Chain A
């Protein structure tokens, strides 16, 4: 595959090219997905330098072990963002980041307009995502927000919201399911089946 063709190559083809040590293939993956990864990491860890380190680690992990990406189990974007999220949560839960997290939580609490919609407004299909989010109850939205963007465990979310742990677990699960269904209805996510 020539360099110029990488721009139109599928994510799966790019991963194959990365397997053949093509820097330009990794560069194209970065061009496509790094902004989302960086935005997510920065949001969770609340620190630009830490977010950069996480994104660098995630992309180097793809370079070093492209075979870990399984196209049968989801998109490359989802894979990279899952890696980014997991690493970000590790960082934010580490003792060294505790202080930053507490400061950031205080900031969040003081922002009246803090909600999921603000996080996705500039997504290309932001309107569809906003519509889908309206299918969630306030409890579901808040639980998902605190778990996903806040990096909290469901137990911590339960404490923060003063709700039973079982209720929070259920809200996260039902919220994700309803969100998924709504996005499928809007053509933003296809039915997914494991091969």
Chain B
């Protein structure tokens, strides 16, 4: 059955191998130059000199073409698991149901449970290997840009490795996502029994899980770190310049949290520990420069504090392991559900 599953999967495997080869060539051509620029830019040693933001910006400005490839790489890695789920997972059983070949397959000398188990194992393993190789190549290639972008953009969450965008597109996480999306596709196919609706269901459910997960589940796995930062007249001045009149006074958190952290929330508290609202301070209602100065002076006397909740960069690897394991576990559960269902299901 393993050999036959492989025979059936051959065409898709060749297509996947082709896609991987194209990515590999593109990255092999551009990667060494990118690494060379990074090594000479001084980004790696910027902490000692304290000029990280400027050298990172200089480095990134040197590689505009590579930035396009960088964004493409993120897109490819984020899209690979749902695409695998939709086009390898969902049709795995439904195509055979729709063309009637289950009547051929299920009357060979192999029970249908074994038939499905082997098909899921062979194709699922291929899905994980594909996603793993893709992630391995892109994580290596993107390393310099990841590092520089995190330094440059400060508290923008987009290009922090532990942030919601990059986390699923780096290191081992794509393997977990691919296994889960594939099993989700197979399950949708086994339950819905028609290819197109199963593909749609796979996409919707996977997208919902992938979007909700970082916000709802990740904080439960490793609790975010809280930092309390007292607001001084000087720090308020910077934040007012960024956005006066807001109900929260956001100070540049890059200076308050370790670099590479994903800031989840910032709340401003007054001296009694309650949420502070700038609208209640009469001095802060105007918008002229002189009024802004008066507001800043008033706020400086209120002993305000910012409560910052963030996920530090050091949680990256523990979270990668936890979440990959969880998604692999979910994939195994779904595969078990499919096997249980197919045993009871008529053709």
A and B pair up: no
